Structure 1
Amino acid sequence: MRDMGGDQIEEAVAGAAALLRTVAGRDWEGVRAGRLEWSCRTTAIHIAEDLIAYAGQLAGRATTAYVPFEIVVEDGTDNAGLIEVIETTGALLAATVRTTPRETRAFHPYPFGGANREGFAAMGVAEVLLHTHDIAAGLGLSYEPPAELCQDVLTRIFPHVRPGPDHWRTLLWATGRGELPDRAPLTEWRWNNNLVIPAERLTLQGVTPAAAADLTAGGTGGFEWIEGGPFEGTVSAAGMVAKAYAAGTHRPEWGMFVLVRREDGRAVGGIGFHGVPDEEDRAEVGYDLVESARGNGYATEALRALSEWALARDDVKLLFAAVERANTPSQNVAARAGFARVDADVEEDAYELHGLDRSLQLYAREG
């Protein structure tokens, strides 16, 4: 899987700086940046502010709020000097991302309160690409960044956006800056960093479309797995995420999670939902572990944590799991996590009306 990190930040910043230097001698203060209310100069300063702010969040390991600092451009700094500030702050973010451990998360409000180094890298790249576009639009310049950079951003922090054949124009549409022939224009938007649900010995880490595609193709999804992982159920679930993303129906909080041990940062299994809750506020869950991780209570811990997170929401009243009749260990996991066999009539309806395989038994937990 292509990493999202310092190299991408540097590539985005280098492309922006090269373009902006061609117009460094023009008036940036008196020109509005595209559809923004800001001037081109204010927008350029904003790029640098975001880059250094993201570096500060990661470097300071901020967990509850933004680190309370800001940068100030010295009076008299011309546009060429401002470009140097963007390059410097970009280098600082790139270096911070490269030296931050994979499991580190820092505060960012949208939408789940945090991001890892890959998320901050993606956000930094997005700020550079999109605001360079805004400045270019204001100054009448042509600007189109590399398609792969745009795809990197989309598959990390826009998991809810159906991909299109043109990654740059899809990113512009997803941020209210452009139009696509088959989609209504957006007036409001936000990106989505992956959700992480804490458990006692594990963290349940939401799988991005980029990670899902890599897992489906036989890769690691960017996780460090224990021997024998990922297991076949995790790979199959990743395929479901990849298909939902391609169709534009993926909702990250109702996708899949990889179970990562706190003690060593290694992945031991997967868990997740088979889709968003239905019209009766019911959702299906599934889980599996790498064989060498079984017998340690990880699946029970993960299922309990995921269930408590889901049932605390207003849009979920019942969770259910379909477990093979011969799989006693998995049945025990469900029972220990608070699930119980449904009554015979409900199960028979599932067989007759919903096509449930009769080799499976239904377990449910209510909120």
Structure 2
Amino acid sequence: MREMGGDQVTAAVAGCVAALGAAVDRNWTEVTAGGLDWNCHQTAVHVADDLVAYAANLAGRARDAYVPFELTLDDGTDNSGLLHVIETTGALLAATVRTTSRQVRAFHPYPFRSADRAGFAAMGVAEVLLHTHDMAQGLGLPYRPAEELAESVLAYLFPHVQPGPAPWETLLWATGRGGLPGRAPVTGWRWNNNLVIPAERLDLVGIRPAEARDLRLGGDGGFEWIEGGPYEGTRDAAGFLLKAYEGGVHRPEFGVFALVRRDDGLAVGGIGFHSAPDEEGRVEIGYDLTEAARGHGYATEALRALADWALARDDVRSVFATTEPANAPSQAVLSRAGFTRVSAAGEGPAFELRAG
């Protein structure tokens, strides 16, 4: 799998500089950037400021807020100099992404208050693509980024948006910048970084559509797996996630999670929801572990963490799971996690944990 990373940041910035370089002799302070309230000069500064802020947060391992500084240009900086600043801040973000471990997360407010290196790269690419579009529109310049960049931004940051046949037009629509046949106009939007739920020894790391696609096709999804992983159940679950994404009904917080061991960064299994809560507030979950990871209590630990997270929500009142009749180890995991056997539903025993 080609993870969203430094190369994509570099490509997005190069496209920005190439497009806007044709208008460096214009007065950017007098031209409004597309549908924004900012002029093109303000928008370009904003792009550079975001790129360096993302690099700083990731490099500085920011926890609760942005690193407290702001980009300021020297007096008299012309448009060529401003584009050089965008190139430089883009290079800083690209280098930071390339040299940061996949496990590292740092502060970003949307929507779960953290992002990993791929998330910061995707946000940087999104800022560059969208605001280059805004500035090019204001300046009357042609601009269309590579479709693969737009597609990656959607698959990393917009898991709740049904992908369309043209990724760039879909991204513009999803951010309120254009129309899309058959879809209502977007008047408010946020992107979504993936959710991570901490457990005692594990992190439950939300799998994004781009990663699910790779898992379904036989790849590693961007994770480093323990020997024998990922197990078949995780690949199947990734396929269901991908189908929900392509159908426009995926809710990322009720998706699939890789179980990543915190001490060495290795993924040992998967866990996730079959769907969002039903009308009665019930969610069904499934899980698996690679054979080499079994017998260490990881499944029980992950199940407790996911169930606790779900039952703390207002829209979940019970968590439900079924097992094969002969799968005594899985039934024992559910019992240890506090679930109660409620029936022999379908082909196997059913277990439930209700909100207190």
TM over 0.5: same fold?
Answer: yes
1:5 is matched with 5
After superposing the two structures, state which structure 1 stretch, 135-144 or 306-315, moved more: 135-144
Question: Do residues 160 (structure 1) and 160 (structure 2) align?
Answer: yes
Question: Do residues 286 (structure 1) and 278 (structure 2) align?
Answer: no
Q: Give runs of aligned pairs for residues 188-337 of structure 1, distance below 5 A.
A: 188-337=188-337
Over residues 83-127 of structure 1, what are the superposed CA-to-partner deviations in whole Å (9 max), with x where a residue is unaligned?
Answer: 000000000000000011110000000000100000000000000
Q: CA deviation at 1:64?
A: 1.1
Separation of aligned partners in 2, 1:93 and 1:99: 10
Unaligned runs of 5+ in 2: none
Specify the SS of the correspondent of 1:284: strand
2:16 is matched with 16
2:350 is matched with 362
Q: What is the root-mean-square deviation of aligned Cα atoms in Å?
A: 0.7
Q: Which amino acid aligns with 2:144?
A: E
Separation of aligned partners in 1, 2:339 and 2:141: 60
Is the contact made by 2:31 and 2:139 (CA closer than 8 Å) also made in structure 1?
yes
Specify the SS of the correspondent of 2:267: strand
Unaligned runs of 5+ in 1: 352-356
Q: Which amino acid aligns with 1:48?
A: A
Over residues 8-50 of structure 1, what are the superposed CA-to-partner deviations in whole Å (9 max), with x where a residue is unaligned?
Answer: 0000000100111110001110111000000010000000000
Over residues 269-294 of structure 1, what are the superposed CA-to-partner deviations in whole Å (9 max), with x where a residue is unaligned?
Answer: 00000000001110000000001100
Over residues 245-267 of structure 1, what are the superposed CA-to-partner deviations in whole Å (9 max), with x where a residue is unaligned?
Answer: 00000111000000000010000
The alignment-based identity, stated in percent, is 66
2:64 is matched with 64
1:354 is matched with none
Separation of aligned partners in 2, 1:327 and 1:340: 16
Q: Which amino acid aligns with 2:334?
A: A
2:128 is matched with 128
Is the contact made by 2:52 and 2:90 (CA closer than 8 Å) also made in structure 1?
yes
Separation of aligned partners in 2, 1:10 and 1:253: 30
2:91 is matched with 91
Separation of aligned partners in 2, 1:22 and 1:140: 10
Separation of aligned partners in 2, 1:63 and 1:240: 33
Q: Which amino acid aligns with 2:339?
A: F
Separation of aligned partners in 1, 2:182 and 2:300: 44
Specify the SS of the correspondent of 1:115: coil
Q: Which amino acid aligns with 1:241?
A: L
Q: CA deviation at 1:75?
A: 1.0
Specify the SS of the correspondent of 2:286: strand
Specify the SS of the correspondent of 1:22: helix
Separation of aligned partners in 2, 1:148 and 1:187: 25
Separation of aligned partners in 2, 1:257 and 1:16: 35
TM, length-normalised to structure 1: 0.96
Over residues 164-195 of structure 1, what are the superposed CA-to-partner deviations in whole Å (9 max), with x where a residue is unaligned?
Answer: 01000000011110110110000100000000
Separation of aligned partners in 2, 1:248 and 1:215: 20
Specify the SS of the correspondent of 1:213: helix
Q: CA deviation at 1:63?
A: 1.0
Separation of aligned partners in 2, 1:264 and 1:217: 25
TM, length-normalised to structure 2: 0.99
2:34 is matched with 34
Q: Which amino acid aligns with 2:18?
A: A
Separation of aligned partners in 2, 1:179 and 1:120: 27
1:112 is matched with 112
Specify the SS of the correspondent of 1:250: coil
Separation of aligned partners in 1, 2:275 and 2:88: 43
Separation of aligned partners in 2, 1:202 and 1:64: 21
Q: Which amino acid aligns with 1:333?
A: V
Separation of aligned partners in 2, 1:73 and 1:177: 28
